[in-house]
């Protein structure tokens, strides 16, 4: 059976590993990058706490001893279901079974100004772009004489109060307190503002009410200006326009307010659900198709517990990958597997040093503060691929904790290309 897996995120990589060296399978894993990216720690790359290589792992190294898994760097452009074929930017590929696990990308809600002028953070490269922009802003601030422009360079707006926005805002606030004043003694960081904008009435809206309240309290304690029930209407590279007409001056806006699935051409439009996700049955199979599956953020599987689809988090993708691997290995001859059911083991978010929140559904337990922070670190270390990567991540965390500093505030001029700014 030739299984083509498109996307080497948490779901696609786990599926390939589960089918690795299994008889009867020829696996082709396709991705735009030659490495797996650990998305939960993008924000630490963006703020100089970790190097990009610490959270990236070469795909070919994962399958060095594999007899049936092969890697191809390509971008999926179109699916031809009637021919059991896909078209990529490097050529055509046949399949017996196709698994779509391309995940999701940033959703700018069709606002071209916001797309052109704000920074997304859905890849390692984008995280590095944010890091370079932040540092370059402070370098530029040293020579600016106009007070309004100086304020814009020092202000940072984070849009989206989910885990990404909360964790990024908290880390930026700690940099403002412990790091930046030492790097730039000429600047007055008491005038620097970090805004976290959230359209709903609370941060961490998918977690418990306790976690939401505590995360907001932690952020405000760190100096973040949390602005709930505030929707961004527009951004021209200079000022953020809110729906109520208020303006925030900032030359850096980081967009973490929404995601949408990466859907290629060739899929029946009737299968596209809310959030640009693909409708699947409880066996992870796309509706109306016999040999096309979807897992992870791209899939919208409606169940009694999750009528609008599962949350777009890594554990869902991993569990679906394990389920699908078992289904493919059993084949059609045996009785079908029971329907997929997501087992929620909890959710967590870190806000800053010794500050985190953890919700465990069964038994219903809530952790906060230092204990939650230790749980968060331990779990993330376990999920990172490679002993070497775990060692470097832990070493950086230990260094940051003991010195109150990060040591990766570097600008690579050949890499960094400032985004176009509309004046």
Dist. CA 314–CA 325, nearest whole Å:
17
Dist. CA 62–CA 19, nearest whole Å:
13
Domains by residue range for the chain, with CATH: 2-32+74-106+259-330 (3.50.50.60), 112-257+354-403 (3.50.50.100)
Strand order in the sheet with 272-273: 272-273, 277-280, 299-301
Dist. CA 161–CA 169, nearest whole Å:
9
Q: What is the pLDDT of residue 406?
A: 78
Q: What is the 3-class SS of 330-371, one letter each residue?
A: HCCCCCCCCCCCCCCCCEEEEEECCEEEEEECCCCEEEEHHH
Dist. CA 130–CA 351, nearest whole Å:
19
Q: What is the pTM for the complete model shown?
A: 0.91
Q: What is the pLDDT of residue 423?
A: 39
Cβ 166 vs Cβ 351: under 8 Å? yes
Helix H or strand E segment including 87 = strand 85-88
C-alpha distances in angstroms, 244 versus 115, 234, 248, 268? 21, 12, 12, 39
Cβ 16 vs Cβ 69: under 8 Å? yes
Q: Which residues of the chain have pLDDT under 50?
A: 421-423
Cβ 226 vs Cβ 198: under 8 Å? yes
Number of alpha carbons in the 13 Å side-chain half-sphere of residue 237: 12
Dist. CA 335–CA 316, nearest whole Å:
24
Rounded to the nearest 10°, the torsion over CA 254, 260, 264, 269 is -150
Best CA proximity match to 13, nearest among 58, 54, 75:
58
305-328: per-residue pLDDT in tens?
A: 999 999 999 999 999 999 999 999
- In the DSSP assignment, the letter for residue 19 is T
Dist. CA 257–CA 122, nearest whole Å:
12
Dist. CA 276–CA 304, nearest whole Å:
21
Q: What is the pLDDT of residue 73?
A: 97
322-350: per-residue pLDDT in tens?
A: 999 999 998 765 566 789 999 999 999 99
- In the DSSP assignment, the letter for residue 290 is S
Between vectors from CA 252 to CA 405 and to CA 53, what angle results, nearest 5°? 50
Q: Beta-carbon neighbour count of residue 242 at 10 Å?
A: 16
Take residue 399 and report the two structure tokens written for it.
């260094």
Dist. CA 291–CA 97, nearest whole Å:
5
């Amino acid at each position: 059976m030739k299984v083509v897996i498109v996307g080497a995120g948490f779901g696609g990589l786990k599926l390939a590993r589960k089918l690795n060296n299994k008889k009867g399978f020829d696996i082709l894993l396709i991705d735009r990058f030659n490495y797996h990216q650990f998305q939960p720690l993008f924000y630490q790359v963006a703020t100089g706490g970790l190097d990009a290589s610490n959270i990236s792992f070469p795909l070919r190294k994962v399958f060095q001893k594999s007899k049936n898994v092969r890697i191809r760097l390509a971008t999926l452009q179109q699916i031809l279901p009637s021919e059991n074929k896909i078209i990529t930017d490097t050529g055509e590929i046949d399949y017996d079974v196709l698994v779509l696990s391309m995940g999701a990308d940033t959703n700018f809600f069709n606002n071209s100004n916001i797309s052109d002028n704000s920074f997304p953070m859905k890849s390692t490269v984008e995280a590095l772009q944010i890091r370079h922009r932040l540092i370059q802003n402070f370098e530029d601030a040293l020579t600016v004489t106009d007070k309004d422009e100086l304020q814009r360079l020092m202000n940072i707006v984070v849009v989206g109060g989910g885990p990404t926005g909360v964790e990024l805002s908290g880390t930026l606030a700690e940099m403002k307190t412990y790091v930046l004043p030492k790097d730039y003694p000429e600047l007055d960081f008491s005038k620097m503002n970090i805004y976290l904008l959230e359209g709903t009435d609370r941060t961490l809206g998918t977690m418990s009410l306790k976690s939401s309240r505590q995360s907001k309290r932690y952020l405000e304690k760190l100096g973040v200006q949390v602005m709930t029930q505030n929707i961004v209407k527009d951004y021209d590279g200079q000022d953020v326009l809110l729906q109520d007409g208020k303006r925030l001056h900032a030359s850096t806006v980081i967009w973490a307010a929404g995601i949408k699935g990466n859907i290629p051409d060739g899929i029946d439009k009737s299968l596209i659900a809310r959030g640009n996700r693909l409708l699947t049955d409880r066996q992870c199979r796309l509706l109306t198709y016999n040999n096309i599956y979807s897992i992870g953020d791209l899939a919208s599987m409606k169940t009694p517990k999750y009528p609008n689809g599962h949350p777009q988090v890594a554990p869902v993708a991993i569990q679906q990958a394990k389920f699908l691997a078992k289904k493919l290995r059993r084949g059609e001859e045996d009785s079908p597997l029971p329907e997929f059911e997501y087992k929620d083991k909890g959710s967590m978010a870190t806000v800053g040093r010794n500050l985190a929140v953890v919700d465990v559904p069964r038994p219903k337990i809530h952790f906060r503060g230092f204990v939650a922070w230790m749980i968060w670190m331990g779990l993330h270390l376990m999920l990172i691929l490679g002993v070497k990567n775990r060692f470097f991540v832990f070493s950086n965390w230990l260094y940051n904790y003991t010195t109150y500093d990060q040591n990766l505030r570097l600008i690579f001029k050949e890499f960094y290309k400032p985004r176009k700014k509309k004046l």
